[in-house]
Chains A and B, each alone.
Chain A
Amino acid sequence: PHFIIYLPKSQKNICFNIDSEPGKILNLVSDPESGIVVNGQLTGAKKPQDGKLSTYFGKLGFYFQSEDMKIEVSVENITISHGSHTSILSWSDTARVMNSRVVVSVNKEKSVTLTLGKEVSFSILLHRVWKKHPVNVDFLGIYIPPSNKFSLKAHGLIGQFMHEPKIYISNERPGKDPKKPEASMDVKGHKLIVTRGLQKDYRTDIVLGTDVPCWFVHNSGKGFIDGCYKDYFVPELYSSLKWP
């Protein structure tokens, strides 16, 4: 999966990607204070291309500790567990499930929106591919609007950026590929070489998406994320990340 991190203060989009093995679970958000955990489990393409197997998010897990609620969104269905009760919605439903502070809205074959209280919300997009496609599989995208409801202790591949790091981009120059300018980026005490490129936001157009210009950090985001991406593997879909 590819990540786009929007930094409102510096008005910059920074992107990176992570490729690992199918089945691995990456922690996206862990906030011990608000009790919010978001993890993504990787699913692989049907077969490698150019010798490399691409991976995507095939399943996302949300745990809202204060509500004792776990929500699993997979490319098949949406399972909502609250205490000892479980309800399963399918992507062919148009439905809303409300439980005290949590609302799960399913927009048929398109998206699921989770809102916790009025402050925090997550949007999950379903990307359906041609079932018989030799390589591609269905996958999910997750969108998390910035919110000040996360505590300073929030972490995870995305959660760590709830509190914006300072970045400084300089020395913009032509890259090895003339169409891809490069620049230097100072962040968290590191000096990184970043490449100018485009990413996609699929919320308004699920097929083509809209272009989002960003600075791409190589090596799976090393230097931009704390530690390296393997630090974010967690054993279960609802496990929280212990950091550091």
Chain B
Amino acid sequence: SLSEEKSGERMEDVDQVTLYSYKVQSTITSRMANTIIQSKLVNNSPQPQDVVFDVQIPKGAFISNFSMTVDGTTFTSTIKEKTVGRALYAQARAKGKTAGLVRSRALDMENFRTEVNIRPGAKVQFELQYQEVKWRKLGSYEHRLHLQPGRLAKHLEVDVWIVEPQGMRFLHVPDTFEGHFDGVPVISKGPQKAHVSFRPTVAQQRKCPNCSETAVDGELVVMYDVHREEKVGELEVFNGYFVHFFAPENLDPIPKNILFVIDVSGSMWGIKMKQTVEAMKTILDDLRAEDQFSVVDFNHNVRTWRNDLVSATKTQIADAKKYIEKIQPSGGTNINEALLRAIFILNEANNLGLLDPSSVSLIILVSDGDPTVGELKLSKIQKNVKQNVQDNISLFSLGIGFDVDYDFLKRLSNDNRGIAQRIYGNQDTSSQLKKFYNQVSTPLLRNIQFSYPDTSVTDVTQNSFPNYFGGSEIVVAGKYDPAKLQQLRAVITATSANTELVLETLAQMDDLEDFLSKDKHADPNFTRKLWAYLTINQLLAERSLAPTATTKRKITKTILQMSLEHHIVTPLTAMVVESAAGDERMLADSPPQDVSCCSGALYYGSKVAPGSIPSWASPSPTPTALSLVAGPPLEATPPPHVIRVEND
């Protein structure tokens, strides 16, 4: 029945394996995305054939399920502690009863591949499920689905459902297939729900009218943003968990003191340096008049464009650009000295009172390799930086290519109120650098703290952040006891420009219930999943910064427990896929090294007691407080239709 030509489309008999269906379903409920990729193939040839299931999932996504049905035998997955999983796999391999599951990491996606051999006429179905959180960047969320069916599919169906209680401000599917599928994605959008469907026919899939190759090989991207009414953000409460989304608008940018620390060692020669210079020229142009900046460039020596911070006037910017254009990369890499020089410049300016008290201070390190000169020990460099940097400075590290010890950059930044990001040394290095800079170019708030005064609130994720940057979003999550609370109260304190802000909100327990129950695509567990995702990622980062082995062991135990409880593959767990009889096994675990943490998140905060509210934010007046004003005041009041005294 599979070979019937129902839709009248001609299928090649050259290719003995037919891809009967390739289905991708994504549901995003309040930034929490759940994706299922399913493909069904059949071996039409008289010979056994190898069948491959090869998908790419976003870096940092957690696999939650994989199943495979080969010729009627179903393999299901269980999550085990990593070493246990591997031991089981080794046993199966000893009996020759295994098939490899390979995970590898390239660019910012992870490859997930398996290959099985099936007899003639047999059918095979693969299904992979993973979850990830959508981080808001530059004013929107992006959901990327890497489509790689590998061949024409009789039924190719991609469906993305987005459910956002706050309502969607816009939703857009950019053309990422160079016009080949113009008009094929169908968008249906309501105020709080949207559905994007991508179902090209076999003819539309063809690279060209008579080709047998598929043009479906790339990313379907859905971009959207939500409405934001309250500055205090959206507090979504459901099933014993809460998630707080915070992305205030209508605030003036805060002045920033920014130091660019650029690696100009020999390894940067060529496209990397060219692209970095190109990016820096645009970035410097984007500085605001009230910003202060300087440039430190280093190889085995450390140089500065200026020895101190300079106001970002047009002339200074032009001069800095000229300086950067003249850089010729050569020699070794002395990260330690370069960072200490940058920190010295900022500390000195701070100590001399040259910094606007309402400003924020950022260091952006761009490097493509490990230290080769001066202090080489990474932990020592990390210690030096930590000891010298004042706590008003956030350090962001951009690691170009794969020669750099990315974990080191991550630890270095997380330890100093910032994050690291991997940049790929290719022809779009410049746009990646610019894109990253734009994420931190507009600080709007400082010292943001999230408080949840109710005592039955527990397990709150990081709730204190040094900065909030326009276009991004801070997410905090936690647990509460539904039996004890009717409302959940949140208080956010922060400083904007030169003003102290105290924002409050109350979320009712059943606010979301009605909304979620109405939509079959809405994931009722999204709060729990988002909380788990955030918590595990932050624990992974805390683990890499753990000061002692005992602390590290404790964190590891917590992560493992949560990974098993939430049935997800994290760097500490592995997925064992077994046939019902248990005589055949496969293993899926996360790639070696590169402990994934907080991918895509712009913030790495810290934890303070969620119940504590800063002392300066004394409780707000309540309506009864208003009536305490002494005596009836002088007033101008409303219109005559409520007044019995006739007007003239």
Which positions in A face B, CB cutoff 8 Å?
1-6, 8, 13, 15, 17, 19, 28, 40, 45, 54-57, 77, 80, 82-90, 92-99, 105, 107, 110-111, 113, 121, 123, 127, 139, 141-146, 157-158, 161-162, 180, 195, 197-204, 209, 212, 214, 216, 218-220
Contacts and interface: CB of A to CB of B under 8 A. Distances in A.
B342 to A, nearest CB: 28
Interface string B491-503: 0000011111111
A18 B648 CA distance: 9
B318 interface: no
Contact of B620 (A5, A105, A201): A105
B630 A17 contact: no
Given A87-B496, A107-B623, A214-B645, 16 more contacts: A1-B636, A1-B638, A3-B636, A17-B643, A56-B638, A82-B497, A87-B250, A87-B499, A95-B231, A95-B504, A158-B635, A197-B643, A197-B644, A197-B646, A204-B627, A209-B638
14 contacts: A1-B636, A2-B638, A3-B634, A8-B631, A55-B639, A87-B499, A96-B502, A99-B498, A99-B499, A144-B634, A158-B636, A197-B645, A204-B627, A209-B637
Given A1-B636, A5-B634, A198-B644, A143 B500 contact: no
A40 B637 CA distance: 12
Given A8-B631, A144-B635, A146-B630, A94 B620 contact: yes
Best-surrounded residue of B231, B500, B503 (most CB of chain A within 10 A): B231
A87 B232 contact: no
Interface in B467-498: 496-498
Interface string B8-36: 00000000000000000000000000000
A95 B635 contact: no
Contacts of A142: 635-636
Contacts of A85: 252, 496-499
Contacts of B620: 94, 96, 105, 107
B642 interface: yes
Given A82-B499, A85-B498, A144-B633, A92 B640 contact: no
A95 B7 CA distance: 60
A92 B230 contact: yes
Nearest to A96: B502
Nearest to A196: B645
Contacts, number: 191
Given A1-B636, A82-B498, A85-B498, A195 B229 contact: no
B621 interface: yes
B46 to A, nearest CB: 69
Contacts of B201: none
Contacts of A201: 632, 635, 637
Given A1-B639, A28-B636, A17 B647 contact: yes
Contacts of B637: 1-4, 141, 199-202, 209
Given A145-B630, A157-B636, A97 B252 contact: no
Contact of A92 (B229, B639, B641, B642): B229
Given A146-B630, A204-B627, A199 B501 contact: no
B94 interface: no
Nearest to A104: B499
B505 interface: yes
B639 A93 contact: no
B500 A98 contact: yes
B497 A2 contact: no
B491 to A, nearest CB: 9
A13 B635 CA distance: 10
A199 B643 contact: yes
B643 A95 contact: no
Given A2-B640, A95-B502, A113-B626, A146 B631 contact: yes
Nearest to A45: B639
B629 interface: yes
A143 B633 contact: yes
A144 B501 CA distance: 24
Contacts of B500: 96-99
A88 B251 CA distance: 7
Interface in B594-648: 616-617, 620-623, 626-627, 629-648
Contacts of A212: 632
A95 B501 contact: yes
B642 A4 contact: no
A98 B622 CA distance: 17
B639 A2 contact: yes
Question: Does more than half of chain A's interface fall in helix, strand or loop, or is it mixed?
Answer: strand
B148 to A, nearest CB: 44
A105 B636 contact: no
B150 to A, nearest CB: 50
Contacts of B632: 4, 6, 13, 201, 212
Best-surrounded residue of B230, B627, B647 (most CB of chain A within 10 A): B647
Nearest to A110: B623
Contacts of B648: 17, 218-220
A87 B503 contact: no
B249 to A, nearest CB: 8
B487 to A, nearest CB: 13
Closest 10 CB pairs of A and B: A197-B645, A88-B250, A85-B497, A96-B502, A98-B500, A94-B504, A145-B633, A216-B645, A85-B252, A99-B499
Interface string B307-335: 00000000000000000000000000000
B636 A40 contact: yes
A75 B631 CA distance: 26
Nearest to B496: A87
Contacts of B505: 94
A71 to B, nearest CB: 12
B640 A17 contact: yes
Contacts of B631: 6, 8, 145-146
A113 B622 CA distance: 11
A180 B644 CA distance: 10
Interface in B498-525: 498-506
A132 B538 CA distance: 49
A198 B645 contact: yes
A191 to B, nearest CB: 18
Nearest to B358: A85
A46 to B, nearest CB: 12
A115 B638 CA distance: 23
A5 B635 CA distance: 6
A139 to B, nearest CB: 6
B360 to A, nearest CB: 14
A144 B251 CA distance: 28
Contacts of A218: 648
Best-surrounded residue of A15, A93, A111, A157 (most CB of chain B within 10 A): A93
A19 B629 contact: no
A169 to B, nearest CB: 15
Nearest to A55: B639
Contact of B638 (A121, A162, A202): A202
A75 B630 CA distance: 26
Contacts of A82: 497-499
Contact of B503 (A3, A95, A143): A95
Best-surrounded residue of B502, B505, B638, B643 (most CB of chain A within 10 A): B638
Contacts of A4: 632, 634-637
A166 to B, nearest CB: 17
Given A2-B643, A199-B643, A201-B637, A95 B499 contact: no
